[in-house]
């Protein structure tokens, strides 16, 4: 559960800060968008595991 919270906070910072800070640098924006997609996928998988074992 703690890891889920940390990953979610990281995703929130990517969306709120890092992508905005990278504006004007297409390669940096692309990196952060990819990182965002990867985090979202990981969070979905982690959420499934939490649900499976937290009954």
**pLDDT tens, residue by residue, 1-49:** 899 999 999 999 999 999 999 999 999 999 999 999 999 999 999 999 9
CA 10 to CA 2: how far, in whole Å?
12
DSSP summary character for residue 23:
T
Residue 54: what pLDDT? 87
Tens-place pLDDT, residues 36-48: 999 999 999 999 9
Q: Tell me the domain boundaries of the chain.
A: 2-53
Q: With bands split at pLDDT 50, 70 and 90, how would you rate the model's confidence at 52?
A: very high
Residue 8: what pLDDT? 97
For tokens 């905005």, the residue is 20
**pLDDT, mean over the chain:** 96
CA 37 to CA 3: how far, in whole Å?
17
For residue 11, how many other CB atoms are within 10 A of its CB?
17
């Amino acid at each position: 559960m703690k890891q889920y919270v940390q990953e979610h906070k990281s995703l929130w910072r990517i969306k709120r800060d890092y992508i905005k800070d990278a504006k004007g640098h297409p390669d940096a924006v692309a990196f952060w968008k990819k990182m965002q997609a990867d985090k979202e996928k990981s969070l979905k998988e982690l959420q499934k595991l939490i649900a499976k074992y937290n009954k």
